[in-house]
Amino acid sequence: MATDPIPSAAPALAKLIQELNKLPGIGPKSAQRLAFHIIRLPASEAEELSHAINIVKTNITLCDQCQNLTEATPCNICANTHRNATQLCVVEDPMDVLALERTRSYQGQYHVLHGSLSPLNGIGPDQLKIRELFQRLSDANIEELIIATNPTLEGEATAMYISRHLSGQNLKVTFLARGLPVGGSLEYSDDITLSKALEGRQEM
Amino acid sequence: MPNPRTYLATGIILKKTPFSEADLLINMFSREHGKLRGVAKGAQKSTSRMVGHFEPLTIVEISANKGRTLDNINQAQIINNLPHLKSNLSLISQGLYIAELLDGFGNESNANQHLYSVAVDTLVNLNTNPNQILNLRWFELNLLKSTGFGIELEACTSCNKEILPNHHRYSPSHGGLICLECNLPTQFSQPISLQALKVFRLIDRTHLLSLPYLNASDTLLREMKTLLGSTVRYWVDKEIRSNAFMERLEQLD
């Protein structure tokens, strides 16, 4: 939540605090701490930070194919010929691509929707990169579509919307497994997670 | 000694919003306190004891502490997860429509137990009995009734005379039927068929679970939807966003 500039602070400092306060998860106190940290930084480091922000804003664009954030289109993942081009994994956000890449278990391509359906917030299919996904599916030779939206009501609704559109097409549509998180406990799991975990049980 | 700052509430989750690093801001419509807003600390983490409990359209019981601006939700237990509703996209869109109307018509810190029962009955019936095509119409009519905007279906809202068959129009702003003698300008009223009026009267005096399965035509269903939709929109005085999504799905079917 942005606050009014601190009246007694130097205008430049107050402005910096105000701008930092606009960042997600940064409250007024954190904004002050970050601002004073930046003031104490050597000029070169502060310059690097400011340069990095500028570069991100000017150079980062969306990949024509997967809609992920990239500096060049097609992005590194789309341009990598060693990856499996017949598998396409649909995710909500660019950060989900990073999370899946960290697993090193998936070697296919991605498509980033940039959100999930949220009718209460006015986010419908037209506000997401769903049209681009359908276009890509009709143009490319995709054999399996892995829908990896979040296991939330909005994520499930998005997955259902996509699969409803694709019903009747010769395309394998799969979802990520639902179940218990590693390190969680049965006692505190909600009913639906437990029932999904039971449905998806595997032989040992 | 019980802590007066701690309270229990049972309600329907209307909305959840990411808040701070790993917290969730929860909007719910409760039986005991009307609309509530509270923060569930750490509930975004996959190992949180409360993860999965705050999905919209879940009926939960919570324990919360009163805070200065926002209450802190520290425990939650699911009462009904409505699993069949959540596995069908059309039903989800209908459920979200109910949630949006509860948010629009509900008052903060002001319990409306009748409205709560109407909402829970409709959601549970959508979950178990989605073929009842009057689910949403029953909800809209009873929502208006529970919040003091009940529709007059027997007499003229202007002259109070009994309505004669096919001798009436419908006016959301007047709160129901208007006889032709009262001569309300057409921009403030719309036609209503005798069939639609009869179904409205049936819905008005029958509980959802006792409503018969009507074999109504698409035209009649659309007329009832338009009439009640315009009334709800008139009183809530804002665009109902989930309606657009619901209509889009209807076009897909």
What pLDDT digit, counting tens, does each position of A174-184 carry?
999 988 888 87
Contacts of A88 (CB under 8 A, 6+ apart): A108, A109, A110, A111, A136, A137, A140, A142, A144, A145, A146
Cα separations in angstroms, A19 against A1, A6, A26, A40 = 11, 12, 10, 18
Residue B91: closest C-alpha in chain A: A157
Q: Are residues A54 and A97 in the same domain?
A: no
In this structure, the answer to whether residues A87 and A46 fall within a common structural domain is no
Residue A158 distance to chain B (closest CA, Å): 9
Find the radius of gyration of the CA atoms of chain A. 22
CATH topology agreement for domains B6-80 and B86-252:
no
- DSSP-based three-state secondary structure for A90: strand
In a domain, A114, yes or no: yes
CATH of B86-252, one of 3.30.1600.10, 1.10.8.50, 1.10.357.10, 1.20.1440.120: 1.20.1440.120
Are A89 and A183 contained in the same domain?
yes
Contact criterion met (CB < 8 Å) for A193 and B52 = yes
| Residue B3 confidence (pLDDT) above 80 | no
- For residue A2, being part of any structural domain is answered with no
How many Cβ pairs within 8 Å bridge chains A and B? 70
What is the structure's pLDDT at B1? 53
Query: Once rounded to an integer, what is the mean pLDDT over residues B224-247?
Result: 92
pLDDT mean over B142-154: 94
Query: For B93, which of A119, A188, A192 is closest by C-beta distance?
Result: A119
A126 lies in the same domain as A169? yes
Residue A198: CB atoms within 10 Å = 10
Please check whether residue A125 lies inside any domain of the structure: yes
Is the pLDDT at B113 greater than 80, yes or no? yes
Instruction: Answer yes or no: is A33 within a domain.
Output: yes
Q: What is the mean pLDDT of residues A60-74?
A: 94
Strand partners, A145: A88, A173
Residue B50's pLDDT band (boundaries 50, 70, 90)?
confident
Element at B136 (helix H, strand E): helix B135-146
Determine the pLDDT at residue A4.
56
Lowest mean pLDDT among A115-129, A171-185, B8-22, B218-232: A171-185
Round to whole Å and give the CA distance between A141 and A174.
Answer: 16
CATH number at residue A92: 3.40.1360.10
Stated pTM of the model: 0.87
**Averaged pLDDT of chain B:** 91
Residue B2 has pLDDT above 60, yes or no: no
Q: Does residue A128 sit within a domain?
A: yes
Please report which confidence band the pLDDT of residue B170 belongs to, taking 50, 70 and 90 as the band edges: very high
- Closest by CA position to B248, among listed A157, A152, A100, A79: A157
Query: Beta strands A144-147 and A84-91: pairing type?
Result: parallel
Above 0.90 for ipTM, yes or no? no
Is A119 within a domain?
yes
CA distance A23 to chain B (A): 11
Taking a C-beta distance cutoff of 8 angstroms, is the pair B142, B54 a contact? Answer: no
- Based on the domain organization, do A102 and A193 belong to the same domain? yes
Distance, in Å, from the CA atom of A190 to the CA atom of A187, rounded to the nearest integer, reads 8
What is the C-alpha to C-alpha distance for residues B184 and B192, in angstroms, rounded to an integer?
Answer: 14
pLDDT tens for residues B33-47?
A: 999 999 999 998 877
User: Above pLDDT 70, what percent of chain A?
Assistant: 97
The runs of H, that is alpha helices, within chain A are 11-21, 28-40, 43-59, 76-79, 94-103, 130-139, 153-166, 191-199
User: Which CATH number do you get for residue A35?
Assistant: 1.10.8.420
Query: A105-109, B19-23, B138-142, B239-243: which has the minimum mean pLDDT?
Result: B19-23
Q: Please state, as a whole number, how many other Cβ atoms lie within 10 Å of the Cβ of residue B135.
A: 21
B39-44 contacts: CB < 8 A, separation 24 or more? B39/B67, B39/B70, B39/B71, B39/B72, B39/B73, B40/B73, B40/B76, B41/B72, B41/B74, B43/B73, B44/B18
Q: Are residues A86 and A165 in the same domain?
A: yes
Contact predicate A183/B74, CB 8 Å: no
| pLDDT exceeds cutoff 80 at B23 | yes
Please name the member of A121, A153, A160 whose beta carbon is closest to the beta carbon of B55: A153
Query: For the ranges A66-80, A81-95, B181-195, which has the lowest average pLDDT?
Result: B181-195
Say yes or no: B79 contacts chain A, CB-CB below 8 A.
Answer: no
Residue B229 has pLDDT above 90, yes or no: yes
> Residue A127: is its pLDDT beyond 90?
yes
Interface test with B, best of A152, A190, A194 (most B CBs within 10 A): A190
pLDDT score at A8: 72
Q: What is the CATH number of domain B6-80?
A: 2.40.50.140
**H or E, element range at B138:** helix B135-146
> Hey, are the CB atoms on A181 and B46 less than 8 Å from each other?
yes
Residues in chain A within 8 Å Cβ distance of B86? 153, 156, 192
Residue A7 has what pLDDT? 64
What mean pLDDT comes out for the span A1-9? 59
Shared domain check, A31 and A90 = no
Q: What residue in A sits closest to B57 (Cα-Cα)? A: A153
Residue A191 has pLDDT above 80, yes or no: no
Please, which residues have CB within 8 angstroms of residue A199's CB and are 6 or more apart in sequence? none
Residue A74 located in a structural domain: no
Mean pLDDT of chain A: 91
Predicted local distance difference test score (pLDDT) of residue A181: 81
B206 vs B146: CA distance, rounded Å: 15
pLDDT of residue A5: 55
pLDDT value at A45 more than 90:
yes
Q: Which of B96, B126, B247 to mutate to test the interface with A (most CBs of A within 10 A)?
A: B96
The torsion of the CA quartet B210, B216, B218, B223, rounded to 10 degrees, works out to: -70
| pLDDT tens-digit map of B177-199 | 998 888 777 778 889 999 999 99
Mean pLDDT, range B79-104, rounded to an integer = 94
With 60 as the cut, is the pLDDT of residue B252 above it?
yes
Query: Number of structural domains, chain A?
Result: 2
Instruction: Give me the residue from A119, A160, A192 closest to B52, CB to CB.
Output: A192
pLDDT of residue A26: 86
Residues on chain B touching A153 (C-beta within 8 angstroms): 55-57, 86, 92
pLDDT band of residue A118 (cuts 50, 70, 90) is very high
Range of the structural domain that residue A93 is part of: 80-199
Peptide bond into A151 cis (omega under 30): no
Residue A204: inside a domain:
no
d(CA A100, CA B47) in angstroms, rounded, equals 19
Cβ neighbours of A157 in B, within 8 Å: 89, 92-93
State the smallest CA–CA distance between residue B225 and chain A in angstroms. 19
Nearest of B142, B168, B166 to residue B156 by alpha carbon:
B168
Q: What are the CA-CA distances from residue A94 to residues A71, A105, B20 (Å)?
A: 14, 17, 20
**Res A87 pLDDT > 70:** yes
Chain B residues lying within 8 Å of A160, measured CB to CB: 88-89, 92
